[in-house]
Amino acid sequence: MGVGSLDGRVALVTGASRGIGAAVARRLAAEGASVAAVARTADPDQRYEGSLRDTIEAIAHAGGTAIAVSADLSKPDDRERAVFETQKTFGPVDILVNNAAVTFVAPVQDFAEKRFRLMVEVQVWAPYHLTQLLLPDMYARGCGWVLNISSRIAEHPLGPPYDPVQERGFSVYGMVKAALERFTTALAVEGHAHGVRANTLAPLDNVATPGAGAHDLVDGFVLEDESVMAEAALALVEGDLTGRIALSQTLLAELGRVATRARA
């Protein structure tokens, strides 16, 4: 591999066994970052498409450096262990990409408390906690990047009439992503004087990930290749942009970078 824009940096990417997280992990590694890929699915499993082993092997095949850290991010001890193992192997973390998610879809009247609490734990508190664990080193070194992966579902629905997709029950998913975005902008303010940049990134169009497929968000939709999100993520962790609530294709167009778009 040649000299990349992230040579010498260490990145921790959650939800990196498949989909957007795996694509981001590969892209950062291709630019020279040492990547800790974190997810629950360590080995290939017939129930799921993609695993940490697949991600790590792809990075190694391309000449990059990465380790797999199997962790359940709903558990505080696993979050702390993921940070410890990353630091033990590579040293201080420069880049944190919070991509891991667990998503349930149901109307408000039917949404179970247990599922509500799990979504908040994984998609709000886990990113917050991981950031807390890494900020002391970032502040001490005067440099760091936190990128939170969001969704357009955080935007307030317009209507009536309302989008039939929204009517299926995305209230909690929208809530956690909106909370993640507000956390990000607060962190951008607090971290600015310490050299820490914080941004969120969401796909402009649906990405054909296993999760999107499970929620019937692929067939019949305009689709965006996962490489678009990966390129936009790279743009947000290699420079000085901060406080952005960015959409993938819009950001790349602004920066004059190439985005590949596939349509349904």
Q: Which DSSP string corresponds to 78-113?
A: HHHHHHHHHHHHH-S--EEEE---------GGG--H
User: Annotated catalytic residue: which of 17, 173, 227, 248?
Assistant: 173
Does residue 203 have a cis peptide bond before it, meaning omega lies within 30 degrees of 0? no
Q: Is the dihedral of CA 112, 117, 122, 124 positive or negative?
A: positive
Residue 156 is given by DSSP the state: P
Is 173 marked active-site?
Answer: yes
- Residue (of 134, 141, 29) closest to 86 by Cα position: 134
User: Annotated catalytic residue: which of 150, 151, 227, 248?
Assistant: 150
Find the angle CA(101)-CA(102)-CA(108) to the nearest 5 degrees.
120
Is 114 marked active-site?
Answer: no
Is 171 marked active-site?
Answer: no
Q: In what order do the strands lie in the sheet with 196-202?
A: 65-70, 34-39, 10-14, 95-98, 144-149, 196-202, 245-247
Is the distance from CB of 116 to CB of 123 less than 8 angstroms?
no
Is the distance from CB of 187 to CB of 198 less than 8 angstroms?
yes
User: Annotated catalytic residue: which of 17, 74, 177, 248?
Assistant: 177
Which residues form the catalytic set? 150, 173, 177
